Structure 1
Amino acid sequence: MLFKKYLFFLFYFLSTIVLYPQENPHFKMDSLANKSFDDLKKAFYNYKDIGQIEAAKKTAYYTLKKAKKENNTVAIANSYIRLCRIFSKTPKLALKYIDSSIEVSTKNKYTKLLAEGHFYKARCYYSRLDFEKSLKYYIKAKEYYDRVDNKEMYYAIQNNIGLIKQNVNAHEEALKIFKECYLYDLSLGYDSIRKVDHLATISSLSLAYVELNKSDSATLMNRKGYKLASTVKDYNPYKPLFFTNFEGLNQYAQGNYIESRDSLLKSIPFLRESKANANLCYAYFRLGKISNHFSEKEKSIFYYKKVDSIFLESKFVLPEPREIYESLINYYKEKDDIRKQLYYTERLLNVDSVLTRDYKKLVHTLNKEYDTPELKRQKEKLIVILNKKDKGITFLIFIIVFISITSILVIKFFHSKRKRNEKKFNQIIDNLKQKNKEKVVKIDDNSKKKNSLNINEDIINSILERLSDFEKNEGFLEPKLSLAKLAKYIETNNKYLSKIINTHKSKTYNTYINDLRINYAIDRLQKDHVFRKYTIKAIAADIGYTNTESFTMAFQKKTGITVSFFIKKINSQHK
């Protein structure tokens, strides 16, 4: 169902929800002078939780200044983390502060602060839709939290990793993670903070169930969420009507349009007041689609214009509601209103340019009735008609030339990108054919390298021979193969083995093992049609990786292309 393809964007905005209460204009900030660092910490979180963001920001800056003056490195690292959280809606600035915190914590070996720093760095990249880097830093944060045995943060990270998996369509894996987080929440009992954390988990579960067409389970979660949210009296971004909104989306996905409309209309005043613009945008969009289903064209156009107003006022766009412009263009085309046609054509071109810039890794999933060249041709025709009426032929020629040049440049860019990927693939295949020749070149150079190691030449030869046997016997396919384990296997010590790999293989131990595994995978994928039918997870496990992410990152780092693209190209060659 088309709806489910775009539920990603609700997952994305759900994971970045920050609904602060409105600031009180009569609020007076306490004096920060003479407060201890503990008191400043309490003041910061008190101000943040009651929505006094300016006061929280001033407290964080004051704490940082005081910490630097007193050379209190723990307080310095903490202050940078607080500033990162304050500027969460400005990812570039947030990253600057969190990198400063990580730098201080690394120098001073503050494990707990390093865990927290990497956690918020992962969130910064998530807000920029850079899921690869976000996952990388969540995994680092998890490693640090494991050292300090912090289960609460472990599950917080798990929940965010679940959101990433949901965004890349690994829905079953995401659901499994959300269920683990849900059970962990239940095991802790409820206080006001735990309730908010639990509501976040319920929200994730609700949307995950919709993705997997489990409508009854989604409804159950929405009811639980609504009931629990109604009991939270303190600060809570997950108000009851959020779950009414989610249920409206769930009912829409099942084709229950009357029930969906009822829930969405109930949630709209709350969404408007809360400035939850992404949710509000989808609510209006669904209401427009429902009105269209019931042949209520004027009402449908009314809701679509609401979506456009949100895009203009909030200065963000979302992929699926893009189609409102196609409906608006066709509506005014039927009414022979050329100026409105041109206006919404220009709005659509503007939206497409923003989508291409902000969602370039996901924009290919859009189903467009009009592709960009066709849309530009339509715009040109409309401009011609208007300019004939206004006799502005010179301006028209300028616009046509400008759009033509822009179109050519865009087409050329994507053509070049495709050719680069093709070139990288062909290089991989050529490298396989030249493998034996490359081995000869490496052997010829060994004698020059032996003199620089300060290790007996007989020992070097012995280790190199055993490494050669290790490679021939495909020992690198063993999971969790550490340097110490390999050293023991070839009867030497870690130091000698590391030095010899660095010198004779011209790479670190980890790169050496990764390269052997990736080369093996490339060779086998080319020759073995059954192996090509494996899932990426199964391929990773078969060649010694304990998780899919490590394999895919290593493959792309070595080859410059993704595993799925490589398999697709190999399959096309063997048809």
Structure 2
Amino acid sequence: MKFIKTLLFSCLSISSVIAQKDTDINRKFDSIYFATAVNTAAGDINKAIRIADSLHKHSKLAIHQLKALMLSSSLFQQKGDIKKSVQYAVKADSIAVKHKNYDWEARIAGFLSTQYRIMGLYEEGEEYLEKGKNVSHKIENEQMKKLYLGMIYQETAYYEIEYEQYKKAYKAAKSADDYFNQLVYSEQDRDYFLATNEQLLGRVCIGLNKWDEASEHYNKALGKLTKVTQENAMLSGFIYSGLGRVHLEKKEMTIAFENLLKAEEIVENSDYLELKIEVYKTLADYYQLSKDIVKYAKYNDKYVEALALSEKKKKESITDFVNTTKSKGKILAQNRNVLLIVSIVLSILIVLTFIWQRRSRKHERERFREVMSRMRQAQFEKEQEQTVIAVSERKDPNRKIMSDAIEAKILKDLKDFERGNKYTDKQISLPILAGMLKTNTKYLSHVLNTYLNKDFNTYINELRIKYIIEKIEQDERFKNYKLSVLAEECGFSSHSKFSAVFKAITGFSPSTFLAYLEESKSA
């Protein structure tokens, strides 16, 4: 009996030691995990990635491996490497599914939804968002359920921002706020999530042009953030940038500059592309409003460079998504490529036929009048309106790769773009235009080919030729300019390319066109 009591006591002692050891391991892991995610990542994201990899490699518990993988995924997202971010998240998801860890399944579903939103693959992202909602209902821990429902509503708000539905975004963000305020298991976590949500509400209020309310939310975010992390955390960068934008819109230049300097200090020590894009764009706008052309050019160049790199990484991520994670998507992509090739061939045949028909001297004067009529601004606006109206009539269900709302938004944004003259910028490219319109190159190319029957180069070249013809008509000096000057004015790199494109679009060489224009005015 004494032996049995001794054995039982020994077992209980061993169990107590093991339990204490597990608690110590968990505490140590969580300490390193949080410090890496919030503090180390703000100063040296590559070091943070190395720590996350080490955590994964040396962790024996499945939950620790899963959390380390998701930390790596989050860090790669900050760097703009969506491809690796998704790869790590998918590995983590497989562990969560295997162990029926519903709270992490919900979190990962929300995270993957974010990645696809960043890539511009909104429909795929919303599928993961729906999965996150469904999995959340399986979570038994009420606190975890509230946390992930809050995160899901946050992500819903970001989707509404992408669609420019700011009132809906505000409502979703307030719902997230309600859930985060109910968190009682950790004041540190609650404050951090509330800080992220206040920053989100500030961004939404900017979209609603509610500058004072936006400022209030950003300052609340700073107040919450200082309780849980260092001042130079990534979230602080977005907050200071947002405050800079608010005060810039209110023409409070000194306060705007102070906040933008803080944001710039953070962004210069960061590889977070989305933060770089936002901060450099706001700084460029500040210096433009301050009439400091040199610094405006400097920060605008930085903005364009970061935007182009972001679009490049998005394109690579989309390609990887198609090739490795979606076999069905791969088949659809192949079909789209075939359709694209057929479309290009047909476009080339149409252009060649157009040029061949226009070479007949018998109809040159009629053609000239037709070109001039087509290039008139009123007619051009009318054609663009008809293009938007005809969207529902010209759909081909077999080529549908995005929702009607996204297609309509891209068409509307293209119309706004055409009213300006940014197409005369020599740096304009498909990725840069996609970034300006807040979409991705795949969707933009699809809309251009489907609804305008043009590829990107044809689209930009036609806008440039229309622009220079209007200049020639409105200003007599342009008739005496050399072709190189005309080419430079409308954004072409050389007069030879300008001449070739001019003739391809109008059917005339620039010199012949000028001669007919002079003849028509003297008639």
2:114 is matched with 123
Aligned match for 2:134, one of 127, 130, 143: 143
Tell me, in whole angstroms, the C-alpha distance in 1 between the residues paired with 2:30 and 2:236.
Answer: 30
Give the Cα separation in 1 of the matches to 2:223 and 2:487. Answer: 62
From 205, 212, 218, give the equivalent of 2:208. Answer: 212
CA positional deviation for 1:45: 3.8
**Hey, what does 1:199 align to over in structure 2?**
195
1:140: Cα distance to partner?
A: 1.1
Q: Which residue does the alignment assign to 1:278?
A: 277
Write the mapping of 1:397-546 to structure 2, written as runs, cut at 5 A. Answer: 397=496, 401=500
Deviation per CA, 1:185-224: give whole Å up to 9, x if none. 4444784443332221111212222333434433432443
Partner in structure 1 of residue 322 of structure 2: none
Amino acid at match of 1:57: I
Q: How far is 1:151 from its partner?
A: 1.0
- The match for 2:73 is 84
Letter of the structure 1 residue corresponding to residue 39 of structure 2: I
Q: CA deviation at 1:385?
A: 1.8
Looking at structure 2, the residues matched to 118 and 360 of structure 1 have their Cα atoms a distance apart, in angstroms, of 23
CA distance in 2, matches of 1:55, 1:397: 50
Structure 1 window deviating more from structure 2 (161-170 vs 211-220): it is 211-220
SS class of match (1:116): helix
Structure 2 counterparts to residues 214-363 of structure 1, below 5 A: 214-229=210-225, 234=230, 237=233, 243=239, 245-250=241-246, 253=249, 256-257=250-251, 259=252, 261-275=253-267, 276-288=275-287, 290-291=289-290, 296=291, 299-300=292-293, 302-312=295-305, 315-316=308-309, 345-349=425-429, 352=432, 355=435, 358=440, 361=443
Q: 1:220 to 1:157 in 2, by over 3 A?
A: same
Contact 1:165 1:173 in 2 (8 A): yes
- Share of identical aligned residues, percent? 13
The structure richer in helix per residue is: 2
Counterparts of 1:49 and 1:272, CA distance in 2: 18
Cα distance change, pair 174–38 in 1 and its aligned pair in 2 (3 A): same
Per-residue CA deviations over 1:91-145 (Å, capped at 9, x if unaligned) read 1122122222323433443333322332222222122122222222122122222
* Alignment length (residue pairs): 336
Change (3 A) 1:198 1:308: same
Structure 2 Cα separation of the partners of residues 172 and 188 of structure 1: 25
Q: Within 5 A, what are the aligned runs for 1:155-170?
A: 155-170=150-165
Residues 317 and 108 (structure 1 numbering): CA distance in 2 closer, same or farther, change over 3 Å? closer
Cα distance in 2 for residues equivalent to 1:407 and 1:317: 36
**Is 1:345–1:375's contact at 8 Å kept on the other side of the alignment?**
no
Counterpart CA distance in 2 for 1:277 and 1:55 is: 19
Deviation at 1:235, TM superposition (A): 6.1
CA distance 1:362–1:161, shift in 2 (3 Å): farther
Preserved contact between residue 202 and residue 213 of structure 2 (Cα < 8 Å): yes
Return closer, same or farther for 1:98/1:223 CA change in 2, 3 Å cut-off.
closer
Unaligned runs of 5+ in 1: 1-34, 330-343, 390-394, 409-575
State which of 82, 94, 101 in structure 2 corresponds to 1:110: 101
In structure 2, what is the Cα distance between the partners aligned to 1:350 and 1:379? 21
CA contact (8 A) 1:373 1:407 kept: no
CA contact (8 A) 2:173 2:197 kept: yes
CA distance in 2, matches of 1:236, 1:154: 28
Q: Which amino acid in 2 is paired with 1:99?
A: V
d(CA) in 1 for partners of 2:502, 2:93? 46
Conserved? CA contact 1:43–1:56, under 8 Å = no
Q: CA deviation at 1:53?
A: 4.4
Cα contact 1:241–1:267 (8 A) shared by 2:
no
> Are 1:180 and 2:175 an aligned pair?
yes
Give the secondary structure class of the aligned counterpart of 2:164.
Answer: coil
Distance in 1 between residues matched to 2:99 and 2:235, nearest whole Å: 41
Match of 2:37 in 1: 48
Q: Which moved more, 1:95-104 or 1:310-319?
A: 310-319
- 2 CA distance for matches of 1:155 and 1:96? 25
AA matched with 1:373? N
Give deviations 1:220-241, integer Å, cap 9, x for gaps. 3244344445555536636778
Aligned-residue CA RMSD (Å): 4.7
C-alpha separation in 2, matches of 1:228 and 1:62? 30
Would the aligned equivalents of 1:37 and 1:63 in 2 still touch at CA under 8 Å?
no
Answer yes or no: is the 8 Å Cα contact 1:53–1:86 preserved in 2.
yes
Q: What residue identity is the alignment partner of 1:385?
A: S
CA change 1:347–1:117 in 2 (3 A) is same
Residue 427 of structure 2 aligns to a residue in which SS? helix
3-state DSSP of counterpart to 1:169? coil
Q: Is the 8 A contact 1:80 1:98 kept in 2?
A: yes
Work out the CA distance in 2 between the residues paired with 1:351 and 1:406: 24
Superposed CA deviations along residues 132-185 of structure 1, whole A, max 9, x for unmatched, are 222221221222222114211211221111111222133222211222233444
Contact 1:271 1:277 in 2 (8 A): no
2:361 maps to none
Indicate yes or no: 2:125 matched with 1:134.
Answer: yes
Distance between the aligned counterparts of 1:140 and 1:203, measured in 2?
26
1:101–1:383 CA distance, 2 compared to 1 (3 A): farther
Q: Which amino acid aligns with 1:196?
A: Y
Q: 1:207 to 1:219 in 2, by over 3 A?
A: same
Higher relative contact order (CA 8 A, sep 6+): 2
